[in-house]
Amino acid sequence: MSQLEKRTWAEISLENIRHNYRAIRAALPEGCRFLGVVKANAYGHGALAVARTLEAEGADYLAVSCLDEAMELRDGGITAPLLILGHTPPEYTFLLADNDITQTVTNLKKAEEFSAACVHLGRRLRVHIALDTGMSRLGFLCGGDGAENILRAVRLPGLDCEGVFTHFAVADEVGADCEAYTRAQFRRFCDTIREVERGGFSFAIRHCANSGAVLRYPEMDLDMVRPGLLLYGYGDAEGKLGLRPCMRFMTRVSTIKHYPAGTPVSYGRRFVTERPTRMGVVGAGYADGLLRCLSNRCAFRVGDGFAEQRGSICMDMCMIDLTERPEAGVGSEVEIFGVESSLDTLADAAGTIPYELMCAVSRRVPRVYKDF
């Protein structure tokens, strides 16, 4: 047992990241650029390790959410083009420029602030313009004076405006209504770009496809796609791309106890044994990212089968019923999610999406890079 695998750990397969990258890449039209989304510590997989893998594979761009995430990659030696999708305060423009980081610009006022900071520094900042076509989050609004504002922004002296993008609200959801909404967003995106072009400016890189759109709307690939979830092996329920999971969230049985029927288990006594029970204690709790709302609602792979999780999940441990898993003992490995314990099933049980459970795996959990 390696030192990192003594309690709770996450096994990360960079080989499977590579496999997924190639599978997605193979589905893209020729010449389409690939931006790999590695924000939030690469959805929990380790930003630097994943970024190095994607860079070596030839990814054209990487994206993160904020300046600190971008600096982690630059400090780690990543030289690929890097886009910050979220806000950066204009007083940090020098760091963006010094480190050749591309910043998203989401309205005219911020464009003016970045430009003014650049003029003051005697620098130029590479930016992508975000359009709000229906996500109602960041971005220039379309319609009205939208295109006019964008034209004003792209002509500012401090900005080098390389790209334009939008983000879909329901590209990953099925149904005619979601499809119509996504198509309407795409139409608004294209219409606004056309208006800007008529005003005399064209963007080198137009991009809008997140994982959902890469799968369902290939006609929206444009100059670059922007998948996150697919890279990590999820989001393709029909298995079109043959993706592989890249993370196994693992723990180990630390202790085994025997209780008679009628024994309350854990905080709140929310589970009471119904039979003589061989109960395992594992060293994974909500501080590791095993959400407490999963208490009494999930099962983990151990030995030759599954063991039901019993009682409230504590901060640092939880209990699993090993009565029917006599082959499992102290020291046995337990897969919380990954290859045999489905992340999708666990996310459903938690009332959430796979994204959240991957991101929830906390800093306390060592990442162990090995292929599976």
Ligand X SMILES: *Cc1c(COP(=O)(O)O)cnc(C)c1O
The CA–CA distances, whole Å, from 146 to 141, 149, 193, 240 equal 6, 5, 10, 38
* Residues within window 303-342 making contact with ligand X, judged by CB under 6 A: none
Q: Which residues pair with 287 in a beta bridge?
A: none
Q: What angle do CA 351, 308, 322 make, to 5 degrees?
A: 160
Q: Which range binds ligand X by CB under 6 A, 15-23, 226-234, 255-263, 291-299?
A: 226-234
- If the CB atoms of residues 83 and 282 are measured against ligand X, the closer one turns out to be 83
Do 334 and 246 meet the contact criterion of CB atoms below 8 Å apart? no
- If the CB atoms of residues 149 and 166 are measured against ligand X, the closer one turns out to be 166
Draw the binding track, 198-217, toward ligand X (x: CB under 6 A; -: no contact). ------------xx------
167 binds ligand X per the rule CB under 6 A = yes
CA nearest neighbour of 317 among 344, 280, 359: 280
- If the CB atoms of residues 19 and 301 are measured against ligand X, the closer one turns out to be 19
188 binds ligand X per the rule CB under 6 A = no
The token duo for 138 is 């960041």
Q: Minimum CB separation from ligand X for residue 210, in Å?
A: 4
The token duo for 223 is 């100059």
- If the CB atoms of residues 271 and 355 are measured against ligand X, the closer one turns out to be 355
Known catalytic membership, residue 267: yes
- If the CB atoms of residues 110 and 167 are measured against ligand X, the closer one turns out to be 167
- If the CB atoms of residues 19 and 39 are measured against ligand X, the closer one turns out to be 39
46 binds ligand X per the rule CB under 6 A = no
Which is the catalytic residue, given 6, 257, 267, 370? 267
Give the whole-angstrom CA distance, residue 335 versus residue 302. Answer: 7
Q: Minimum CB separation from ligand X for residue 226, in Å?
A: 4
227 binds ligand X per the rule CB under 6 A = yes
The CA–CA distances, whole Å, from 293 to 346, 350, 351, 360 equal 11, 6, 9, 13
Q: Minimum CB separation from ligand X for residue 95, in Å?
A: 21
The site for ligand X, by CB under 6 A, has a size of 10
Do 99 and 78 meet the contact criterion of CB atoms below 8 Å apart? no
The residue number with the shortest CB distance to ligand X is 228
Q: Minimum CB separation from ligand X for residue 2, in Å?
A: 30
Known catalytic membership, residue 21: no
Binding test (CB under 6 A) with ligand X, winner from 85, 205, 265, 361: 85
Binding test (CB under 6 A) with ligand X, winner from 14, 229, 313, 317: 229
**Could you identify the residue written with the tokens 């090995």?**
370
Q: Minimum CB separation from ligand X for residue 217, in Å?
A: 13
Which is the catalytic residue, given 21, 39, 43, 286? 39
Q: Minimum CB separation from ligand X for residue 143, in Å?
A: 21
* Size (the chain), residues: 372
Binding test (CB under 6 A) with ligand X, winner from 36, 228, 280, 285: 228
251 binds ligand X per the rule CB under 6 A = no
In the three-class reduction of DSSP (H, G, I as helix; E, B as strand; rest coil), residue 200 is classed as coil
Q: Which range binds ligand X by CB under 6 A, 69-77, 220-228, 254-262, 313-321?
A: 220-228
List, as own/partner pairs, every contact residues 169-175 make where C-beta atoms lie below 8 angstroms and the sequence separation is at least 24, other chains included: 169/134, 169/135, 169/136, 170/212, 171/209, 171/210, 171/212, 171/213, 171/216, 171/217, 172/210, 172/211, 172/212, 172/215, 172/216, 172/235, 173/212
Q: What angle do CA 134, 135, 138 make, to 5 degrees?
A: 110
Q: What angle do CA 155, 163, 243 make, to 5 degrees?
A: 170
Catalytic residues: 39, 267
- Interface with ligand X by CB under 6 A: which residues? 37, 39, 85, 167, 210-211, 226-229
